[in-house]
Each structure stands twice: as structure tokens, then as C-alpha cells.
Structure 1
């Protein structure tokens, strides 16, 4: 698990968000440290009330970028002016606060809470469908905490999803260490069946997002899974399949259960079945055995598949893992490679959102944003911000049609029709 350092600036709302971030990180087994230099990841929850504050936020982000392996920026300035950090050459992930806990990893699987029970957060229902995974990645300490996958029956998870919808959930987020191997402990591959039954057997108007599924688990069910996505309108056309490297040699050293060709076959299958969908993936840069050629292969894969959501993580050693005994790369090498990949990421994501401008989209409002705005997602789980929400009478849980009027790097702006 990761050691994290968190700093919060601004109003009571920001402090509340940071408390929730910390609660989720504690539940996931991560550990807080007081000094940024001792952390695997630093979290900066920003304020943007006046220009002087913005300059202070940028300066602090620059300092944290130099002090720690990875930096996550969230809060008001991140949402309103996230591009300013890239312009200042700050190598950071810019995220909404509720995306932070999942991003605090070292390429490791997310860790669900010990009881793995559903949670209703506003109109978002969080449904852990299983605990554990089937992988043995050389860099991941999560495996020591969770063990092999333990999958409850499909019927049990369908009933939990039904309870969330009846309690008011409009978006169900399917989570787990690796959703793609759901059912493997019983000798079956049950994710497609589970998704189809949630969408067809539960009454109500809601959407379903599938959480992280490693390519090794998805590859064997890729056609069946893509077919369910194509048939079920309640499913967001979104797949998070972390490839981690574009080099088969590095993937072997990582002990990942897939190779680049399998990842490409997953992408090609979803391209064949879906007219429009969002690919999300993760890359670890600076793994101990990663050469410059290996890194260039990762860059080439990024540009070839053009995922619209990309988590870039600099490798850091986790105690008790096999990769911790490997001779590591220099910090500057990891930082340079991370910055190069992050720049390509911003270019790819900005291009995807730029192409949306002028289009009409159907979106679900999932939660309140900064000021008088709301955060929405379209059918492909692209983020759309609607401003002046109160004037439009828009609130979380609403479905509406919008025209995309503009964008920032990581999200679009929509005007209700």
C-alpha cells in the first residue's frame, strides 16, 4: 500500500473532501506520512479564490513535484484551471476529489474495504463485486492484503445492486481488485452475466460503470463482454484495462498476466462492437528493468490506442515485493519519462474533448461541482460540466441532453438543451 501526504487549502468544503479522501485511503490500507519527502504520493487539495492564492498553489505544486514520487492535484483550482499546472511544467495528475483514492496506487489493484459492502454516496452506488485477484505482480503489495479472488454468487450481487437502485442510486460503480476475474475462483467467468442481469432485471433509470479489469482477465471474455456493452444501454461504454507497459519484456518482469498483443486485441474487439467508447488505462514508468527502448514502446502504444483516460505512475518500491529487491532507476530518469508521457496524455485527452465541441450529448448528472456547477457523464463516461446549474434547474440524478460548448483538457462544458 502507498504512503501518502495530503495538504488542504481553502474552505470548509475542501477540508471535508480531504477528510473523505483520507477515510477511503485508510480503508484501503494506505498510510499517511507527515513529510512529503517520505511519501509515495502527495495530494494537494487546492483553492482558487484570488490570483495570489493561485500563484501560491502553483508554487506549492512545484515544490511537491520536486519532493515526492507522484503528485495528485485536486480541489477548486484543479477543476477550474487544471491546465495551469501543466503550463507551469508541474508533473501531476489533475483529478476530481472522489477520483483520488483510486489513483493512489503504484500500479496496484484497488483495495476494497474489509466488509466489501455496497455504499450509497449521493446518487452514486458503489458495489464491490468481489475481493482479491488472480494476479501475482512483482511490484504489488495489495496481493498480500487481499489474497486470491473470492466471488459471491451473481444473484447476491444483483440483489445488492437492486437495493442500491431502490435506495436512490442513479449510477452504480462496479468495483473490485480486478473485476475481469469475477467468478474465476469458482471456475467460471461471470462478469458478462452479472452486468447483463443488473441491466435487464433491475427496474429504473440508472447507469452502470465497470471498474478496473486487468487485460489478462478481460482477454478471454472480450467478445462476450463487448457484446453486453453493445446490447445494454444502461452500461457506460467505458473500460479501464491497465496495460502498465508497452514492452513485453517489462510486462514479464512485472509478472503481468497479459502481453501487448492481448491488450491490442481487447481494444480491437471493443472497436468492432462499439461505435463510440472510452478506453482507460494505466502506465508505470521507470520500472527497474525499463530501458529507454521499453519506454518508447510504451509511448508508441499510448499513441496507437489513444486512451482518453490515462493514469501515469512513477514506479516506487513497496516493501515485501519482489520488485523492491531490484536495482532501481534514478529519480530524474523516472521523472523525465513521466513528464514525457503525461504531456502526450494531455494532448490525446484534449483532442478527444475538442472533437466533442458542437455535438449534442445525453448525460447523467452525478454530483455537484465547483460553485454553481454539476458534474455529468455521457454514454461513453466522458466528463461534462454544466455551469449555472441552479438557473437550469439541474441537480444530481437528472438525465438531460446538452450541447458541448467547449472544454478544458480533462473535461467538456455542456449547455442544457
Structure 2
């Protein structure tokens, strides 16, 4: 029996962000000795703790679904006046959004909680850890927001700042999609299409937190897509614990949703759709329909399909509900039907019972397809899961296998042969080196180009000049402006290629990375390629943060432009505007203005002659 409950009953909850009286909206920990004074619910103008004036430190662990939840929480807090920051030291309260997939993620969370308590800062913990393991000792005396309670984070923060311990964990309805949101990248919308899943993988703890499948309606998702497109979003990432299972609880399916979303996207291809991770069992039923959608000009020809092991025996022990042959059918069909198709996958090394022969089957599978992206993880037993009770493989063997598979994967050269190709890309971010802009081809190949920050959010035609292991490099030929092609004048094109001059003479792969040494990974992985161990690839229950995410999307981070850069961009933009006006000839407005000036001169002359006479 739980000692803390959400006391709201039925559908009588308040609108998102609305502050209800604490006695009817939030369950208070009965073990907290502090009594609530009803008068404290009415703000006193002379109070030194006026809600909405504090700074909140927000830290996110885990998958893109967690990132979306954090963006929603940040949006609501900002809407109520709170400043959301990534600086822990100067914050008045810490809000930690947690991941329960692996032990390293939870260990990093534990460390952060200890630091917060040592600093005597008010603390709120959100995400999968408290939802799936609410009785953890580390969570004693801590306020909690459940995964389906993110629309009430303002209430929890305000009560925690007053010194109360608040826990919201129970709910049967999904948070609204139209809550205020502060995106980490203003050009990318992470759109959750469902929560939970239908699977019962023996190693997965996320099901304990996210629960059974719950899907948003097609109309609500299409409405959200239209809204974010109007906001200027250029990429929409569909997110869930299993995209392929979407709609099975409400009588629809993934192809129905995807066709409805694609119909709502701009016809000029200025906004692209990226389909999230899907497990093989459900996509098998819709392979041809999915392939047709992936061929659409507004959809990236990219899909994340986790296999986890190349051995049927291990897949059975994992309760993955498919065979290696079925996974191969997914990959082969999509590769055959979709030009330029790119598929990412996941592998867990050292699952209980994995023999050398089982592991060899996994290595052979990866060698057969030479995937451009493979997320390699060591097995971590999660408390409360069936796999945690299975006989474990020796840790030194697990690490050895992880290193071996990583070495095999890194030997691939997936982008060889792309030199000289002309591609359309969508530019949405800045590389860590603060020199290159980051775009993606339709196949979601990462392209690094040199140009002004004003190109962010645009689409461009580029020529690939060289390839690396994790990315390709290109020169901008043409910037596409909505449905019209805006060709770059020769001097402007020169500016695009020199504005962010690379310090590397031969544009090797290292140019895209920060020159500083990366921080040690909390995952204790064998080959962490990311400068940010908490970078969020499109990975879900099986592949969360703090893993060997071996792709260049983990190299990205944004920075604030310097005043000089902003001024330079404004001047650059002004040049383009000026040219477009002069190149357009005499328009109706120009003629009217000239006529007005001429009539004014005639009037002045007439007045002068009249005065003299």
C-alpha cells in the first residue's frame, strides 16, 4: 500500500498549470512533520518567497521522451515566471528528470541528489526512477513528480520551495500536448505519440515506470504538428517507448497516424518528420506501408530498429517476441523499398546466459549489415526485473565483448563513396567545435558545413566534399527558402564558406569535435564517443543515455552567438534583403512612392509661385 497518493478523483483536475488548493490537488507525505497552514496558500505581498521569482536548475537523464518531458516542465515553469537554468550553483531549487534503464544512469542521479542535499537545496525528482522505484532510500524526504504528472510541476515546485515534501505519482490520463514548452533546440520538436508499451522484456525497468500502452489520438497529434510548424519547427521527432505499437489501444495504427501527420506538413519540404524507435514485432505488420511513408519527401529515410542480439536463444531469454530472421526481414525490406535507407540498431552485450557462440552470432549480424549507427550497451541488471535473477555473465567477459563489438563497428566506413554527391540537407544545430553547422540528408546522414548562424532552420543544397567515420563534410551551393530557391550571390557564397573557417587543413573527422578532452563517462563504457554523456540520441527503453552511442548526433550542442556574430549576421541578412529588392525591378509600391514624391514637388513649386505673386 502506498503511503502517498494523488487525491484528485475523476476528471475534476485543474487546467494545466492552474494552482489548486494544496489539500485537494497534492498528496502530502504524512511522515513530513511540517503541518500545512491554510493561510500559507494565500500569497502575502510582503513575503520574501514570492512564487515565480526563483531560479530552477533542470537536469535531464535518459531518452528523447524524457527530454520532451523536461521541455514541457521548463515551459510551464517559465510561463509562471521561474528562470530555468543549467547552472546548479546559483539555483534556488534543483529539478532532476531521471532514467531507470541502467545502473549508471541511476548512480549519476544518486550522486546529484547527494550533492543537492549537501548543498541544502530544495529538490524535486521527476521521471522513471521515482515512478518505477518509489521506495528508494535516496528518495526519502524528496518531492516527486510522476511521468504522467508533468503538467503539475509548478504546484510541486512551489510547495517544495515552501518546505513541504510533495509526491504526485498516480494518474490515468495523459498530459496534454498543448502545454507550454521550452525546446532545447527551437528547431526540433520531440513529440510523444504514446507512453508505455505492450512488451514484457525481461531486462526492462521502463515498463514499471511508463506502464502499459497509452496512445494520444490522431487528431491531437496532428493538431500539435500544425501548431509547432507555425512556431518555426523544422524537424519533428516522433517519440515513444515503442513507436510501432502506437494506436493499438485506441483502434488505429502507426501508418494511419503517419499519413495524417505527413498531410499536415508544409508542401515545400521545409519541415521534416523523423519516426522514432520501433521494435520488430509491430512494424512487421506494416512494412510496405511504412516503406511508402519513408519514401515521402518530408520524411527522413531513417529508422531505429533495436535487435539487441543476433542469437534467437538470447532473444527468447529477453522475451523480445521476434527472431533474428524477422529482424533481417525488416531491414532487407526497408532497404530494398526505400532509396538511401539508413537503419540504426541496438545491441546488449553480456545478457545472462550469453555464450561465446551466441555473441559470435551477434557479431556476424552486425558485420552482415554494417549499420552506420549501433548503440552498444553492456547488460545492467535492474532490480525487480526477471533478468536480474538470471545467472550473470562474468563482468570481465561482458566488457571484453563490448570492446570487441565496438572495434568491429568502428571498422566500418559507411559513408565512403558519397564524395561529390549533391544532397539537400536540413540545418538545425551547431557542432561542438563552434565552427560547423549541422544538417542531415534525407537518409539522416550528418553533414557538417561552414556558414553563418543565420542558416540555422533553413534547408540547403550542398556538395559533399569529404567523408569521415561519423559525419560527412559539405559546401553550401544553394539555400532553399520555403518553396522558392534563394540562390546565394557569389560574394555571399564566399562568406558562407569562410564565416566559420576550420582550423583543420584537411577537414578530418576530429574537426567536428571539441578539442577539449571529454568528461569521464558515468557509464564506465569502453568507448564513449560523446563529449556529453547525457546527449540524447533517438533511443528508448533499451538504449538510454550513458551508453556507447556511436554516432555524431552526440557531438552536438548549441551556444549563444556573440554580439559580434549577431551583428555580422544581421549585416549579411540585410545584404540579401537589399539585393532581393533591387533585383526585383519597379513594383507597384515603388511607382506609387515615386508618384507621391513628384506630386509633392509640384505642390511646393505651386505654393512658392503663389506666394511670390
The match for 1:27 is: 97
Count of residue pairs brought into register by the alignment: 324
SS in 2 for 1:143: helix
SS in 1 for 2:212: coil
The match for 1:7 is: none
Q: Does 1:151 align with 2:221?
A: no
Deviations 1:71-116 (A, max 9, x none): xxxxxxxxxxxxxxxxxxxxxxxxxxxxxx9xxxxxxxxx898537
TM-score for both structures, normalised by structure 1: 0.72
The match for 1:246 is: 310
The match for 2:472 is: 412
Following the alignment from structure 1 to structure 2, what is the Cα–Cα distance between the partners of residues 368 and 203? Answer: 24
SS in 2 for 1:250: helix
- Residue 29 and residue 42 in structure 1: after superposition, are their counterparts in 2 closer, same or farther (change >3 A)? closer
- Residue 133 and residue 292 in structure 1: after superposition, are their counterparts in 2 closer, same or farther (change >3 A)? same
- Residue 16 and residue 315 in structure 1: after superposition, are their counterparts in 2 closer, same or farther (change >3 A)? same
CA contact (8 A) 1:27 1:112 kept: no
Shift of 1:236: 0.1
- Residue 139 and residue 171 in structure 1: after superposition, are their counterparts in 2 closer, same or farther (change >3 A)? same
The match for 1:225 is: 290
- Residue 242 and residue 116 in structure 1: after superposition, are their counterparts in 2 closer, same or farther (change >3 A)? farther
**Structure 2: 5+ residue runs without aligned partners?**
1-59, 63-84, 109-126, 128-146, 151-174, 478-613
The match for 1:379 is: 442
SS in 1 for 2:470: coil
CA contact (8 A) 1:139 1:317 kept: yes
CA contact (8 A) 2:343 2:372 kept: yes
CA contact (8 A) 1:3 1:39 kept: no
CA contact (8 A) 1:403 1:416 kept: yes
Following the alignment from structure 1 to structure 2, what is the Cα–Cα distance between the partners of residues 361 and 394? Answer: 20
Following the alignment from structure 2 to structure 1, what is the Cα–Cα distance between the partners of residues 350 and 227? Answer: 44
- 1:263-282 alignment to 2 at 5 Å? 263-282=327-346
Task: Tell me how large the CA RMSD over aligned residues is.
Answer: 2.9
From 204, 215, 235, the equivalent of 1:140 is 204
Shift of 1:42: 8.8
Following the alignment from structure 1 to structure 2, what is the Cα–Cα distance between the partners of residues 41 and 415? Answer: 42
Deviations 1:185-211 (A, max 9, x none): 1344x2112112211233362100011
The match for 1:196 is: 259
Shift of 1:277: 0.8
SS in 2 for 1:163: helix
CA contact (8 A) 1:363 1:401 kept: yes
- Residue 220 and residue 26 in structure 1: after superposition, are their counterparts in 2 closer, same or farther (change >3 A)? farther
- Residue 112 and residue 252 in structure 1: after superposition, are their counterparts in 2 closer, same or farther (change >3 A)? farther
CA contact (8 A) 1:116 1:131 kept: no
- 1:59-208 alignment to 2 at 5 Å? 114=150, 115=175, 117=177, 119=181, 120=183, 121-188=185-252, 190-203=253-266, 205-208=270-273
Deviations 1:268-315 (A, max 9, x none): 211221121100100001001111100010111111122211100000
CA contact (8 A) 1:236 1:381 kept: yes
SS in 1 for 2:425: strand
CA contact (8 A) 1:359 1:403 kept: yes
Following the alignment from structure 1 to structure 2, what is the Cα–Cα distance between the partners of residues 215 and 112? Answer: 27
Following the alignment from structure 2 to structure 1, what is the Cα–Cα distance between the partners of residues 340 and 403? Answer: 29
SS in 2 for 1:354: coil
Following the alignment from structure 1 to structure 2, what is the Cα–Cα distance between the partners of residues 412 and 298? Answer: 28
Following the alignment from structure 1 to structure 2, what is the Cα–Cα distance between the partners of residues 266 and 116? Answer: 33
**Deviation larger for 370-379 or 232-241:** 370-379
- Residue 252 and residue 17 in structure 1: after superposition, are their counterparts in 2 closer, same or farther (change >3 A)? farther
Deviations 1:199-228 (A, max 9, x none): 123336210001111111211111111122
- Residue 249 and residue 314 in structure 1: after superposition, are their counterparts in 2 closer, same or farther (change >3 A)? same
Following the alignment from structure 2 to structure 1, what is the Cα–Cα distance between the partners of residues 273 and 148? Answer: 18
CA contact (8 A) 1:112 1:131 kept: no
Following the alignment from structure 1 to structure 2, what is the Cα–Cα distance between the partners of residues 259 and 238? Answer: 22
Following the alignment from structure 2 to structure 1, what is the Cα–Cα distance between the partners of residues 463 and 87? Answer: 30
Following the alignment from structure 1 to structure 2, what is the Cα–Cα distance between the partners of residues 283 and 112? Answer: 29
The match for 1:366 is: 428
The match for 1:39 is: 104
Q: Does 1:354 align with 2:416?
A: yes
Shift of 1:125: 0.9
Following the alignment from structure 2 to structure 1, what is the Cα–Cα distance between the partners of residues 104 and 265? Answer: 43
Following the alignment from structure 1 to structure 2, what is the Cα–Cα distance between the partners of residues 221 and 384? Answer: 31
Q: Which structure: greater helix fraction? A: 1
Could you list the structure 1 runs, at least 4 aligned residues long, displaced by more than 6 angstroms after superposition. none
Shift of 1:18: 10
Shift of 1:27: 2.8
CA contact (8 A) 2:235 2:271 kept: yes
Following the alignment from structure 2 to structure 1, what is the Cα–Cα distance between the partners of residues 262 and 297? Answer: 8
